[in-house]
Each structure stands twice: as C-alpha cells, then as structure tokens.
Amino acid sequence: MMFIRPVAHKDLDGLMNLARSAGVGLTSLPVNEERLSRRIARSVLSFAGELDKADQGYVFVMEDGATGAIAGICALEAAVGLKEPWYNYRVGTIVHASEELGVYSRHDTLFLSNDHTGYSELCTLFLHPDYRANRNGGLLSKSRFLFLAQFPQLFGKLVVAEMRGVSDEAGRSPFWEGLGRHFFSIDFAHADYLTGVGQKAFVAELMPKHPVYIDFLPPEAQAVIGQTHENTRPAVAMLESEGFRYEGYVDIFDAGPTVQTYTSEIRAVKESSVAAARLADPLPEGDKNFYLVSNDSLAGFRAILAETLAPTHEILLTPEQAQALNVEEGGHLRCVALYPKENA
C-alpha cells in the first residue's frame, strides 16, 4: 500500500533518484545532493517545531509499503518571501489614451511584484513515472490539504502554487529566450537550476524591474505566458478542481502560471472532517468511494487513500490501512472524499 509520511534523512538516495528522473523546470528538485540533504534537514526541523515560520518547509514522500521505495515527493512552504524577496510578474494593463487626439491603446504589461509575500506555497510535486497509476497522483498532491486542515496555525491565509511553464525537451524556454536571455548569457535550464539551489533572488535582481510591454516580446514568448508545461497539466488540473485559480501572476523566468486560493476555501480543507478509526476485515459490502485519510500527528503524519464506505463520526478501515496510518481502533483521523462531488 502507498502512504505519505514526512521525509527523513534516510530518504536522500530516494530523492536523488526522483530528481534524476524529473528533468528541467521542476525548480525545487535539483539533482544536487547537498541541496536535497539541506532540504531534508530543514523539513525534519520544521516537523520538530524548531524553526521560525520564515524557514519552515514541510516535505513529504510517498512510500511504497511493499518495497520501501520512494515513489514521489510533495511539499508545503509555510510562508514565502520573508527572508528573500519572492518575485512574480503580474500580467496587468496599461492604457495610453488621448481623447483630444482620438487615441486609445491598451497594452498587456508584465509588472514585477512581491505580492505573494507571506503566502504559503504548494511545491515540489513529483511522482515517479512508474507510479503514475491507481490515483497515486491524487493522494500525493491532495494529502497536503489534510495536513493544512489539521495544522492551520502553521500556514498562511492564502496558498499559491507555481506551475512549471513551457520548455522543450532540451530545456529551452521561449519566454526565457525572449526576455531573460537579454539580461543573462545563461540558459533557462541553468537559471532554473540556480533558482533551485537558492539563488533565485540573485537572478531575479538582474531581471528587468520596469513594466515590460508584452507586445514587444517575440510572438513565441508571448504565446507561452500563463501556459503550463504539458507534463504539469495533471498537477494544475488537480489544484483547479480544488478551487485554485490563475489570477494573472506568472513565473519571471518561464512565465508558467501561479495559481492561488484562500486556504480555508480549498475544497478538501473545507470538506474534511474528523472521524475515529473503526477496523473491519474485510470491509462490509456497500457503496464505497475513495477517501483521503490521515492521522492527526505532526511529526508522525501519515496519509493514505482508502476505498471505503462514507465516513460518519467513524471511518471503516482494514487493519492494513490502519497500520499504514499508525493508528489503532478508535484513533483520531481526518478524512475527505478524493474527488469533488461532481466527479465522484
């Protein structure tokens, strides 16, 4: 059975394996052992309650219970931009008009912003291609919402997620070629790598600070503003189905969209409820559905996907499922349907 748990120091090799298969543009999963081991250490300290909000980052892995293999990774940053500026471009409007001359022209423009400062962030979602089946992607992405619902005091009122923008197989980004390239002699792949190893603010400081008229960018660059990388469409589809929206903010390097919402408005946060574990083997017959289920422990957080009967004040689980959650009969759980009602 697949389960979600906090990352541990022993997972470094597993994370390196995931990073190697991730490719360019998954910024926060660089193939860099030192960086990944620092990320693990920061996560371990966060779960132990030993860091300030500005430094807290919670990293989770999906473990294949049968083999112990690390199948995927996902993370939550408590608050971005509190130590180093957090940059985005906001796609806004500038109007040049003169009634006297009968001129009116409206221009889409990129404004450099730090508007997401203090927001929480969903990031580093990656499932090994061998495991992209059996709703594992949904468990991996949405297990974070049970964590948010269980520990709201650790997070901000708003949550963002930066989606990977368009780049080709060689890691060439049309937006970077049209804009960033004028300020740097480096490739997008290299800029993205520097971002992933903690140099984003440094790179961002050298990008244009004045509004950029989109009309002046090459058509290939214009075409990808706010567009998600093909491989990242499932990731953004899941967030949109939970209530996240694109509000005109894009990545400064590849123009991938940022989606956002109020934490309390996320469907799986809003609809999640607490229930006591009730064990049954086998589960009784009846109308079953898929539920995300987590325990209520911070450092010992566990989440699984269970196909079971609709929970009441109790949720029926098999002993194997309870074991994966590290709970016994009567233990405290939080659960929510995997899918919003309309697609269940």
Q: Which does 88 bind (CB under 5 to 8 A by kind): ligand ARG, ligand SCA, none?
A: none
- The question of whether 229 is a catalytic residue gets the answer yes
**Rounded Cα distance, 274 and 185, in Å:** 53
Is the CB of residue 242 less than 8 Å from the CB of residue 267?
A: yes
3-state SS assignment for residue 60: strand
CB of residue 49 vs ligand ARG: minimum separation in angstroms? 23
Site string for ligand SCA, 285-314 (x = CB under 6 A): ------------------------------
Closest by Cα among 112, 48, 116, 105 to 80: 116
| Backbone phi and psi for residue 267, each to the nearest 5 degrees, phi listed first | -50, -50
Q: Which of 128, 229, 313, 332 is catalytic?
A: 229
> CA 35 from chain center: how many Å?
19
Span from 110-118, 248-256, 273-281, 284-292 in contact with ligand ARG (CB under 6 A): 248-256
Three-state secondary-structure class, residue 77: strand
Question: Residue 335's beta-bridge partner residues?
Answer: 273, 293
Q: Which residues contact 177 (CB under 8 A, 6 or more apart)?
A: 188, 218, 220, 221
The pattern of x and - marking residues 188 through 207 that bind ligand ARG according to CB under 6 A reads: ----x---------------
Region binding ligand SCA by CB under 6 A among candidate stretches 47-55, 232-240, 291-299, 309-317: 232-240
Of positions 163, 252, 266, 315, contacts ligand SCA by CB under 6 A: 163
What kind and span of H or E run contains 274? Answer: strand 273-279
Structure tokens that stand for 296 in this block: 């209520």
The binder of ligand ARG chosen from 81, 156, 178, 256 (CB under 6 A):
256
By the rule CB under 6 A, 164 interacts with ligand SCA: yes
Nearest residue (CB) to ligand SCA, 2 versus 123: 123
Dist. CA 120–CA 105, nearest whole Å:
37
**From the list ligand SCA, ligand ARG, none, which binds 165 (C-beta under 5 to 8 Å, kind-based)?**
ligand ARG
Contacts (CB under 6 A) with ligand SCA, residues 112-131? 122-127
Q: Is 72 in the site for ligand ARG (CB under 6 A)?
A: no
124 binds ligand ARG (CB under 6 A): yes
SS3 letters across 20-48: HHHCCCCCCCCCCHHHHHHHHHHHHHHHC
User: Could you tell which of ligand SCA, ligand ARG, none binds residue 254, using a CB distance below 5 to 8 A set by kind?
Assistant: ligand ARG
| 26 contacts: CB under 8 Å, gap ≥ 6 | 124, 126, 164
Report if residue 26 touches ligand ARG, rule: CB under 6 A.
Answer: yes
Site for ligand SCA in 237-276 (CB under 6 A): 237-239, 241
Contact partner, 242, from ligand SCA, ligand ARG, none, Cβ < 5-8 Å per class = none
Where b means 16+ CB within 10 Å and e means fewer, 138-149 reads bbbbbbbbbbbb
- Min dist CB 101 to ligand SCA, Å, is 46
How many residues bind ligand SCA (CB under 6 A)? The answer is: 28
**7, 19, 26, 40: which one contacts ligand SCA (CB under 6 A)?**
26
Does 19 engage in binding with ligand ARG (CB under 6 A)? no
Note whether 254 binds ligand ARG by CB under 6 A: yes
Q: Which residues contact 250 (CB under 8 A, 6 or more apart)?
A: 88, 89, 90, 91, 110, 165, 225, 226, 256, 257, 258
Q: Which residues are catalytic?
A: 229
Residues at the contact surface with ligand ARG, assessed by CB under 6 A: 25-29, 123-124, 162-165, 192, 251, 253-254, 256
